[in-house]
Amino acid sequence: MQALTFAGKEIIEFSTVKDPEILKPTDVIVRITLAGVCGSDLHVYHGRETGLDPGTVMGHEFTGIIEEAGSEVKNFKKGSRVLSPFTTSCGECFYCRVGLTCRCIKGNLFGWVQHGHGLQGAQAMYIRVPMADSTLLPLSNDLNERKALLLGDVFSTGYFCADNAHITPEAVSVVVGCGPVGLMAVTAAKHLGAEKLFAVDVVPERLALAEQFGAIPLNASMMDVKEKILNETDGRGADKVMEAVGSDKTLRLAYDLLRPGGIISSVGVHTAPHYAFSPAEGYDKNITYKNGRCPAHYYAEKLLREGVPQRYPIEKIITHQFHLKDGARAYEVFDKKLDNCIKAVLLTE
């Protein structure tokens, strides 16, 4: 089959790889219909994560149709439409039972193979999904494929971010960063009742979308955001700050915008060895800091059950689509934010 593979720093190749096969009776093979290019794929792309085997199929966001099901798979059969979280989960271990499916003891991230171990990714024609019954979710006819793709990662992650911030209507809340996850955090915070919600970025098109989704846009390249938030809160700072980028600079801004006793909820993928604020600063503000990888299976299942993605035009963040064969270009456009790209998807046909 054909797939996008990692060939070294900033080299993505459209190549022919071995077709995936059922290895265990709980596996399925999914024919991919839509795959996403995600901000976390860029960590690999830029070579910031060491040790990913060259030739690994990239990507962890997909929807598709079951092509073949192992003999012990109960919930899906050939022809079932499915969406997938970005990790696999067993549904039985301690972490799966408490809803922290991203830390399943048997779980793996798609598109991550090191020293021959791990799972191939979704930017391909087909993918093998282990533990299919407890990993995949059925894609019902009332949910369009683009919403389903977002539910598998960025919408669940944005919702997790807002959920961890304990949004209340009377709170002053801020989303730092209006990339795909930040824009989904805006939508989720509004859904959870945020009334005074600010969104910070420097890209006018992203801020315009944040405004459409219900936030008050603040362009950090044109104003002092901290001064603005202090003015809005009698000099206290925001009650809740959601950080959706993953850089020292944005985490520092989140700290600076927060009032004493407030909550920072961070879902940006941080790779720094130290926090952007010190333990002493944390103490001095009585902060609550919540962070980490989203348990996407838990949230995708919950949000589907509650009919949340159906209610919001979240697919507006998908600004670009490419054929799989033009994957290298998709990475370049997404990475460099060319042509105002917010999120790119790949079509296999």
- Under the rule (CB under 5 A), what is the footprint of Zn ion? 38, 61, 89-90, 93, 96, 104, 153
Q: Which C-beta is closer to Zn ion: that of 28 or that of 58?
A: 58
Q: Report the distance separating Cα 298 and Cα 97, nearest Å.
A: 10
The minimum distance between CB 181 and Zn ion, in angstroms, equals 8
Instruction: Give ∠ CA 290-294-295 in degrees, rounded to 5.
Output: 120
Q: Which C-beta is closer to Zn ion: that of 27 or that of 61?
A: 61
Give residues with Cβ within 8 angstroms of 264, minimum separation 6. Answer: 241, 243, 251, 254, 255, 258, 287, 288, 289, 290, 291
CB 267 within 8 A of CB 254: no
**Where do we find the tokens 């991550």?**
112
CB 188 within 8 A of CB 328: no
Q: Report the distance separating Cα 97 and Cα 91, nearest Å.
A: 7
The minimum distance between CB 326 and Zn ion, in angstroms, equals 20
In the bound state, the residue with its beta carbon closest to Zn ion is: 38
Q: Which C-beta is closer to Zn ion: that of 82 or that of 172?
A: 82
Query: What is the Cα Rg of the chain in Å?
Result: 20
Q: Which C-beta is closer to Zn ion: that of 171 or that of 296?
A: 296
According to DSSP, residue 234 is labeled T
Other C-beta atoms within 10 Å of 160: how many? Answer: 25
Q: Which C-beta is closer to Zn ion: that of 12 or that of 38?
A: 38
The minimum distance between CB 226 and Zn ion, in angstroms, equals 30
CB 230 within 8 A of CB 257: no
Helix or strand run (H / E) with residue 325: none
The minimum distance between CB 38 and Zn ion, in angstroms, equals 3
Residue type, 108: N
Tokens linked to 94: 């301690």
Helix or strand run (H / E) with residue 339: none
The minimum distance between CB 41 and Zn ion, in angstroms, equals 7
The minimum distance between CB 139 and Zn ion, in angstroms, equals 17
The minimum distance between CB 182 and Zn ion, in angstroms, equals 14
The minimum distance between CB 60 and Zn ion, in angstroms, equals 5
Tokens linked to 130: 């282990």
The minimum distance between CB 104 and Zn ion, in angstroms, equals 3
Instruction: Give ∠ CA 26-62-3 in degrees, rounded to 5.
Output: 90
Q: Which C-beta is closer to Zn ion: that of 96 or that of 225?
A: 96
CB 254 within 8 A of CB 281: no
Q: Which C-beta is closer to Zn ion: that of 131 or that of 143?
A: 131
